Amino acid sequence: LNYSKILGQEEAVRTLKGAIASGKAGHAYLFYGPPGVGKTTVGRAFAQALNCEAGGPEACGVCLACRRAEHDNLRDIEVIEPGSKSGRMIEIEQVRTMIARASTRPAEGRRKVFLIPQAQRLSPPAMQTLLKTLEEPPEFVTLILETRELTDLLPTLISRCQTVRFRRLPNEAVARILKSQGASPAKASVAAAFSRGCLTDALALATDAAVWKRRERILLALSEIAALPRPQLLRAAEDLLRIASIKPEKSSESDDSDPASEEESADRAPDEPSRTGGASSAGAARAGMAEALIVISSWLGDLMALHAGSPHASLRNPDHLDALERSLPLYAPARLFAALDFTLKCGYYLERNANPRLLMENLAFQIHPGG
């Protein structure tokens, strides 16, 4: 793994290289920034460099530790993901196991490195336990936590870590990468604008036709909702649910919506009971809802930007300018703000296991101009 393959995070990389070069690698790092901009890749490159036998600021790529690290089988680098028990949270048992492993010296490499890519999913007891470890970590241990926002974590946890900020990638850089992956210039430009520097989202939109189609259908539904009378909003919610592949809970009715993509299925918690059977598990419903929420917040955000007179170049849905301009006069500014606020809160509730169907039914009313 080489830092040079990571675009747009030169500042973070400089910080980490500097730490190794000066022999002052820390015990705990907190990488924060939007998803899909390279936090995990940088974390792995850093973990490898910390273990490289050559001892330079950048991994040599040829020593035994490097080769093992690149194949994910260097025992001294461990990744802690949300556990199988709930599939959603990193539980206290996992942190206890990690602490036990952290107490013995590195077996193969030079340093024990624990990566926690979704630190915002540490359960409260797990976070407390981790906190105690961070008071006096063994000298041969480095912890790398990742999260989107600093506000996701306890201030006491943040204060014990060196924070490293990861930035959104510039739209032009994202578009260039998408084109190199075969996306048409027009699609690359829209996907880059829509995903605001989040490369993984942009790649999914530009290269997965089903993701692109769902975005189109949701944006169309949103432009229609704005003009609907209130009594029809529940049906509009039903449409949105269908587009997002969130199936009815009791019947086993099948519909014509897009099948859940593999990524969505991968997000499914293995031990959660499937309510409708087949691929439409609770996990797929949550993934569908999360994707829909991104589109809905982009739409409302664009309306707010237009209202504020921001340049069209700053819109996330520049290819839907006409529909946005038709909807704009229907909303009072305060309503737009409340609608966007509610949409963002839905993301928070969804992370905490709220029912996607109920969220969408509420959302349809909240994003209506007469909300």
Question: Which residues in this chain contact Zn ion in the complex, by CB under 5 A?
Answer: 52, 59-60, 63, 66
CB of 60 to Zn ion, least distance (A): 4
Residue type present at position 208: D
Q: Quote the least distance from Cβ 296 to Zn ion, whole Å.
A: 46
Q: What are the residues facing 145 on neighbouring strands?
A: 30, 116
Residue with Cβ nearer Zn ion (60 or 328)? 60
* CB of residue 63 to Zn ion, shortest distance in Å: 3
To Zn ion, the closest distance from the beta carbon of 108 in angstroms equals 12
The phi, psi pair for 29, rounded to 5°, reads: -120, 145
Instruction: Tell me whether residue 107 or residue 266 sits nearer to Zn ion (CB atom).
Output: 107
Quick one: 47 or 59, whose CB is closer to Zn ion? 59
Q: Contact, 314 vs 197, CB < 8 A?
A: no
Minimal distance in Å, beta carbon 59 to Zn ion? 5
Closer CB to Zn ion, 50 or 116, in the complex: 50
Judged by beta carbon, residue 63 or residue 305, the one nearer Zn ion is 63
Residues ≥6 apart with Cβ < 8 Å to 132:
none
We find the least distance from the C-beta atom of residue 144 to Zn ion, in angstroms, to be: 18
Q: Distance of CA 30 to CAs 24, 43, 51, 80, Å?
A: 16, 10, 19, 14
Q: Would you say 45 or 285 has its CB closer to Zn ion? A: 45
Shortest Å distance, C-beta 16 to Zn ion? 16
Residue 2 vs 310, nearer CB to Zn ion: 2
Q: Which is closer to Zn ion, CB of 46 or CB of 299?
A: 46
Task: Residue 172: name the closest of 189, 186, 194, 195 by CA.
Answer: 189
Which CB sits closer to Zn ion, 52 or 203?
52
Minimum gap (Å) between residue 137 Cβ and Zn ion? 24
